[in-house]
Structure 1
């Protein structure tokens, strides 16, 4: 019997498998916007009802306890911040289905084109796919563990200590949580909300990752194009192919700028809501831990390259026409159109550090106020 040799997937095929995972997740919550003929369907309406039901229950709980305990605001706001993130991502998908589809097609076309342009291009595309798989898997594990901890904590405390804790401070109208039936119904409702939120947030983040990471990956193609250009220059700086290669680099640069502009349109509110809600959610959770007891609170704790790459082109070895073309790209790079947060701060590590310092300062301020 002849042994069958397993065929290595081409980069475009590997990317298609990643897209199929994203589409499966988004299809379950009714927002498969990668589908050219996407339409709102019963699953979409179910998720809409789930959002409305949770917010109504949260308002009911707030009105019930706010008069006697103001800290209920913190208990409710922490999970509400996560729900709001999911809602913004959900609405974004419904508003721009054609743009999501267009970008996914454009990325797929890039894989189809560049996987045949040489071994180094193919290897780079495979490297992209491996990075994407790691991101998707890591994100899935994070959401799964967080949801599991939040759901299981009240169960463990009830079994070990006989204490009754709600998974979320979100009571269902008409049910008394002091009774066994009311407690089970409320925690059952909260568990369903947590599962929908965890899966919905994960599906929403897949959209972010698949597009924003490719915005970063595109620099690799630019670097390879510039490397090819330099090889030709070293062989013959009068080679007729240089003009075509410079034009190709300019075209790639223009595509990158257009891609970033579309991403900024698609994810303006998504990224802004994610950063703001996450910051406020972490802050409220830390305050809950300091001011009162809620076991589930602990679970909630849980692009400049492209522009600078243009400077790597040995423009002085090109003819006057190509030097002028490179100069135009350099001028555009003085004000790079990167992915931003609310159109103000760039989406980068330094911005994340600023937000972290802000959270730390606010928590320290509350601690000093509490100690007085």
Structure 2
């Protein structure tokens, strides 16, 4: 029995359907042109507002007795701020997100019929995106599921009241069975909304910023066709060269649009991930929150996921420029040789994805942040040793 091979449009369609599914779970499927704010969206917003209000009141009431509770409560604040930034960006750029989604679907339809090489490049791109999505999904599943599982085990194994998150509902007595269950239910709702919301935000980041690698693969095929046509003195050489020039312009424009959409998301992701890691490390040293060991996995994963994708874009920009240099200029007519010069100059100064408008989104930036976190962590150790 032969296995049915999916066409590139079908493979990409599966990715988009999965994106629609996860986004709809948090009421933010803005990639759908028929999207409307619904009851799930309103519930999500209520959970976010309740989280901040109740966390603030809880910290204010406990701070005088235990100031470290502020750090414990601050661990998840970073993730909540990331989720809010992704949600606001999704609403603010809803038309652009939907437009890019349709644009990519049309691109897959256009190029899958141009030959086996193009179809292979499209399928390879879908496979790359799926692999990263599965990896990120596994991190969220292991960390989120693990935190919930640890909480459930401690509820039954401990005589003390165990909570999933770090806030109490004013006026609700957690020492009563009903009050404890109400608080735990709200914690679970906020936690699940947060986990799926962060995953949904990461999905459209991965899908959109996973495409420049596809654009590079298609450029390689375009340059190959041009060189073959130029070597044969074909009349199609000029048309193929114009296609490459337009393709580079499209690639540059696509990166600029993505940079605009993800500007605030990237900045918030990197800054809050660093702060969350520092707070979580301190809580691990104090041993006050069992879920901290898994939560720090999410914090580090979020930091390096975005920075690795930024580095991929940088590498892609360099490879794009190098591939343009692979055009056999000596086989082109003089007027066509002159046409390629401005594009080569432009390709040597590509647009980069920035954090806060000045730091490049790259692994180097992540390593600098990690080095800073390590320095702060050693200071924490000394502080605790002096107090003991």
Is it true that 1:259 corresponds to 2:254 in the alignment? yes
Aligned-partner Cα distance in 2 for 1:257–1:228 = 22
> Quick check: 1:56 aligned with 2:70?
no
Match of 1:242 in 2: 237
Residue 252 of structure 1 and its aligned partner are, at CA, apart by 0.6
Q: Secondary structure at the match of 2:210?
A: helix
Question: Retained in 1: the 8 A contact 2:8–2:112?
Answer: yes
Q: TM-score, normalised by structure 1?
A: 0.93
Q: CA deviation at 1:7?
A: 4.1
Distance apart, 1:6 and its partner CA: 5.8
* 1:27-77 deviation digits (Å, cap 9, x = unpaired): 222222122233323322221111111111111111111112221111111
Change in CA separation of 1:158 and 1:41 when aligned onto 2, cut-off 3 Å: closer
Distance 2:353 2:102 in 1: 20
Counterpart among 170, 176, 182 of residue 185 in structure 1 = 182
- The alignment of Structure 1 onto Structure 2 pairs a total of residues equal to 367
Residue 333 of structure 1 deviates from its aligned partner by 1.9
Partner of 1:168: 165
Structure 2 segments unaligned to the other structure (5+ residues): 298-312
- 2:76 equivalent among 72, 75, 79: 79
Structure 1 pair 37–160 and aligned structure 2 pair: CA distance change class (3 A): closer
Partner of 2:343: 329
The CA RMSD measured in Å over matched residues stands at 1.9
Corresponding residue for 1:351?
A: 365
Q: Within the alignment, does 1:99 sit opposite 2:96 as a pair?
A: yes
In the other structure, the counterpart of 1:45 is 42
Deviation at 1:283, TM superposition (A): 1.1
Partner residue in 1 for 2:310: none
Identify which of 349, 363, 366 aligns with 2:377: 363
Q: 1:147 to 1:347 in 2, by over 3 A?
A: same
Stretch of structure 1 that moved more, 155-164 or 94-103: 155-164
- The answer on whether the counterparts of 1:30 and 1:41 sit within 8 Å (CA) in structure 2 is yes
1:146 aligned to 139, 143, 147, which one? 143
Matched residue, 1:307: 321
Distance 1:320 1:283 in 2: 59
- CA 1:356 to 1:316, structure 2 compared with 1: closer, same or farther past 3 Å? farther
Q: Is the 8 A contact 1:34 1:101 kept in 2?
A: yes
Q: 1:342 aligns with which of 341, 346, 356?
A: 356
Q: Which runs of 5+ in 1 are unaligned?
A: none
**1:232 lines up with 2:229 in the alignment:** yes
1:218–1:346 Cα change, 3 Å: farther
Aligned partners of 1:66 and 1:72 also within 8 Å? yes
Aligned partners of 1:154 and 1:164 also within 8 Å: no
SS of 1:295's equivalent?
A: coil
Stretch moving more, 289-298 or 271-280: 289-298
Instruction: Provide the residue aligned with 2:305 in structure 1.
Output: none
Q: 2:161 is paired with a residue of what secondary structure?
A: coil
CA contact (8 A) 2:125 2:213 kept: no
Per the normalisation by structure 2, the TM-score is: 0.89
* Deviation, structure 1 residue 210: 0.7
